[in-house]
Structure 1
């Protein structure tokens, strides 16, 4: 939902600026004391602000800062409740956050306004000026929960921005902890185990953890959503006191209920009052309901034949918790509770599998070759890797230069599959981070299926970071859109039939009948066969391009027509790293996209 915004136009000469910003932001009204086109007229700026201060999420004053300050001064309460206020001078040179810079978002809004106007954002918040974390925004930025007071937060911020002795505890991992590791200020020391922290050398502890610790120094706890609560109960279980019982048990195990991500059970129990009571207690947690089929094959630590006879699964609480966490780490195995004869219940808790610190393998798409065409995420993965195993003959070694000092970088060109597995597992078993670097995008002839089967067999944590494929690089290098309105709307990625047989229905001459743009991989060595099959469907004069080592330093591109494709490849000694592109979309400049038709103009409205 867009934030409700009021633009207060003090200087009428800036009306075009106000109208531009109104279009950009949406859900936005321009107010002026003068009667101006597109503006809502008001009698007094200060009276309007006083009457509507709590009705708008953001106020933008265009004009003198003094008027802005005098208008809002009587209304100011605190940074947690006040709306964001920004003032822009009438010439559009400066955008200045005046109120609620962090929590209200005025600092980021000022930067956005500046980017629209080509202005300069004048930010005075110390953490922004120093380029360090905004502690008051971390929870909202990464979806964490907190229960510290405003005073506790302010004391922590004071220590942090003044570069006190700060320890950072990250005993789980998620998107937020990865960002913190990557952007760690020089004066902050990171620890992965609480007992490793030297508290005699620490003034402030910042902890991203589901665990509760009795810390001897000032501490700021962020609670990531990584715990999964599974519940089971007798029919129409009386819920009175049960949420509090479970909460007390969690705390006795040094777990924070604020880290609950889900509350789950079997479909048979979806209408139980207990489920409603638990969600009322922890509204930040999502409720998940699983069918018997979804839970029936899950192994649980404490199976019960009696429960299986009733529900079809060997443990409702444990199987639901395991399912929700992606079969992560057991934190609390099944516990039974009975507050009254009518309130029998069970519960179990798991830690999200992706949050468990330990070995991990990231399969990264390197892109077509140019080190600058790897994704930002892919670059971050390389920077944190302890082992980089790259496809040596297909991936330029320059891409591995992103690896950190001390990382092991190995080419897999001379390794068989078992050697690759053994090396990755050696690092994985030590709890280290492994990047398996593949050319292009791993899903396109990336040979990752066998690797994933191995990882699955050994229960290893892994993830795929996609990459730019060479067919996309080809379109860019050829300065071509591979689809033509009303003529070509499909792009076929395929290969010729060499040592690897093609399914009969995917043979080139059959695919070519669609007259789509065809990008043919791994086929330079059999180009004569490719040409012969394509000529069964395409015209001999169909444009073609042979693209060798796209985006590499050695890149070469040869254009021609289909009847000459084999000759082009052979005369130029093109090899395996050649992509063949065929179709009328090459160099096409005809045809108007429907996006620019008059009935599509709504796409451009804010």
Structure 2
């Protein structure tokens, strides 16, 4: 969502700078007491600010700090309601957040403005200066809920920035908890079970949890959206008081309603008044409606033949909760209630499968070879892994140097699939983190399908981190854009037909008819056959490149034309780690992209 911004130009000599910021930031209006081109004239800065303080998300004063302070002073309320206010000098050297540095975003905005101008952002907020977490922003940043009052939050922040003894409880996992673990300050100790926390050595507890605890010290609770509620009810069930009843039962079992992510039920119940009431009560939740077919076949704790005869499933509440959580952990199996005679209802709660702490496998794309071309996420996965299983000679061992001390690093080059599975499952079953490291991008000739089938069969948690593919590395090494405006707009990633047959419709000579840029993998050993097929569609003088071990220390690139492709490969003894590139896009410098046409409208201007 765009933020409405007022630029208050106190110093008219800074007008060009204000106009530059207006273009870069978007949705800005420049105000000046002088009549200047492109500015809205105001009679008084202080009167304008007083009348408009609540109408703008951000104010940028360009000029003296004193004027800025006197203008906003009568309007200041608190950091949770005030807009972001930034002041910069008329020469564009210093950019200073004045009000709402964290919650209003003035600190980050000052950094953005400074980056545009090449200026220095002067940040005074203590947590920013020390590079520690902004506790008052974590909930919004990661989609968590918190019932913490402003006063409680401020007390927690004071303890935190003063580096008192802090314990961090993470009994679930999500993107936010992973970030906290990765950026852990030295004075914060992390725990994964409440019972393990030494409260006699703790001044502040920070907990990311759907569970309710009564800590003996000051506690700051963040509620991640990881609980899934399934609901069933009698037709036209009276909803009065049911949401409150469900909350009471959840709390009696140590579960926080603030962590509810979804409310699920069967399609038969989608128009029930109860569902509408629950949606209104828990506005943070998403309503999930499932057909009987989607819920059938799920194993639930309390199947009912009677319910099956009416709905087609053996339990609406439990089935919907299990479905919404992705087969997660049972926290509250079927509960029955009746607050109004004849208005029976049932509900159940599960924990999202992806939030359950335990083993996990991350399939990571290592990139084409250069250790610096792995993604930032891929590097982080390697740094936290307990086991790194990498693809032998296809992945440079230097990449495994990112692994933490004590991690097990093994090559799969001499393992069959079963041996690989056995090793990964051994670590997984111990609740450890496994990285399966593949060359390039694992989804392109990465042989991960069999592994995923195995993980699925055992209900294992896994995820794919993409990587840079060798075809992208080839474009960079060749200094070529693989698409030519109005001539070549497609890139084909394929392979020649060797021991593995190609589908009839994907024969090279048929694909070549498009005259697209072709990147041909795993085909150096059958290059004569590849050349023969390509010559059926491409002219003999079509540019080609044989790219050997792209981005490795041993990288070699041989250019030529199609009629000489086989000779180039054979004469240079190129092997399976060679990518063949064919097409007019190689070294092409002709054609003007629409991006630079005078009538082109950029997205941010539309």
TM-score interval (norm. to shorter): over 0.9
Which digits, 9 at most, give the CA deviation of each residue in 1:547-605, with x for residues without a partner?
Answer: 00001111110000001101111111110100000001101111111222233234362
Match of 2:528 in 1: 528
Give the 3-state SS of the residue equivalent to 2:394 in structure 1: coil
- 1:167-216 CA distance string (max 9 Å, x none): 00000000000000000001100000000011111111000000011101
Deviations 1:415-456 (A, max 9, x none): 111110010000000000000000001111100011011111
CA deviations over 1:30-67 (Å, ceiling 9, x no partner): 11100111111000000000111111111110100000
2:242 is aligned to 242
Instruction: Give 1:233 shift.
Output: 0.6
Residue in structure 2 matched with residue 47 of structure 1 by the alignment? 47
Please, which moves more after superposition, 341-350 or 355-364?
341-350
Aligned residue runs from structure 1 range 215-234, under 5 A: 215-234=215-234
- The alpha carbon displacement at 1:315 in A equals 1.1
Listed one character per residue, the Cα deviations across residues 110-161 of structure 1 (whole Å, up to 9, x for unaligned) are 0011111111000000000000000011001100000011111111111111
CA offsets 1:508-528 (integer angstroms, 9 cap, x no match) = 111111111000000101111
Query: Partner of 1:388 in structure 2?
Result: 388
Residue of structure 2 in register with 1:490 after alignment: 490
**2:506 corresponding residue in structure 1:** 506
Matches within 5 A, 1:272-421: 272-421=272-421
Which position in structure 1 is the counterpart of 2:209?
209
Instruction: Find the counterpart in structure 1 of residue 559 from structure 2.
Output: 559
Q: Residue 605 of structure 2 corresponds to which residue in structure 1? A: 605
CA distance in 1, matches of 2:23, 2:338: 60
Q: Find the residue that maps to 1:302 and give its secondary structure.
A: coil
CA distance in 1, matches of 2:406, 2:146: 36
Q: Is the 8 A contact 1:9 1:18 kept in 2?
A: yes
Deviation per residue, 1:297-332 (Å, 9 max, x gap)? 322221111111111111111111111111111111
Quickly say closer, same or farther: Cα 1:367–1:148, change in 2 above 3 A.
same
Q: Distance in 1 between matches of 2:595 and 2:604?
A: 10
The alignment status of 1:179 with 2:140, answered yes or no, reads: no
CA distance in 2 between partners of 1:238 and 1:186 (Å) = 53
Q: CA deviation at 1:293?
A: 2.0
Assess if the C-alpha contact under 8 Å between 1:143 and 1:224 holds in 2.
Answer: yes
Give 5+ residue unaligned stretches, structure 1: none
Q: How many equivalent residue pairs?
A: 606
Partner of 1:34: 34
TM-score by length of 1: 0.99
Distance 2:289 2:95 in 1: 49
Give, in whole Å, the separation in 2 of the partners of 1:594 and 1:45. 44
Deviation readout 1:453-484 (Å, 9 max, x if unpaired): 11111111101011110000000110111111
Aligned partner of 2:94 in structure 1 is: 94
> Shift in Å at residue 74 of structure 1?
0.6
Q: Which residue of 1 aligns with 2:166?
A: 166
Distance 2:590 2:115 in 1: 34
Q: Which residue of 2 aligns with 1:154?
A: 154
Give the Cα separation in 1 of the matches to 2:286 and 2:321: 12
**Are 2:192 and 1:189 aligned?**
no
Distance between the aligned counterparts of 1:540 and 1:55, measured in 2?
Answer: 67
Q: Which moved more, 1:167-176 or 1:329-338?
A: 329-338
How far the C-alpha of 1:280 sits from its partner, in A, is 1.2
Q: TM-score, normalised to structure 2's length?
A: 0.99
Moved more, 381-390 or 17-26: 17-26
In the other structure, the counterpart of 2:516 is 516
Contact 1:23 1:605 in 2 (8 A): no
Deviation at 1:264, TM superposition (A): 1.1
Q: 1:343 deviation in Å? A: 2.0
78-87 vs 282-291, greater mean Cα deviation? 282-291
Contact 1:205–1:220 (Cα < 8 Å) also in 2: yes
| C-alpha RMSD of matched pairs (Å) | 0.9
Q: 1:604 to 1:3 in 2, by over 3 A?
A: closer
Shift of 1:68: 0.1
Aligned-partner Cα distance in 2 for 1:491–1:568: 23
Contact 1:243 1:278 in 2 (8 A): yes
Counterpart Cα distance in 2 of 1:562 and 1:297: 56
Q: Which residue of 1 aligns with 2:547?
A: 547
Matches within 5 A, 1:10-89: 10-89=10-89
Q: Tell me, what secondary structure is at the counterpart of 2:279?
A: helix
Secondary structure of the 1:425 match is: helix
Work out whether 1:425 is the aligned partner of 2:417.
Answer: no
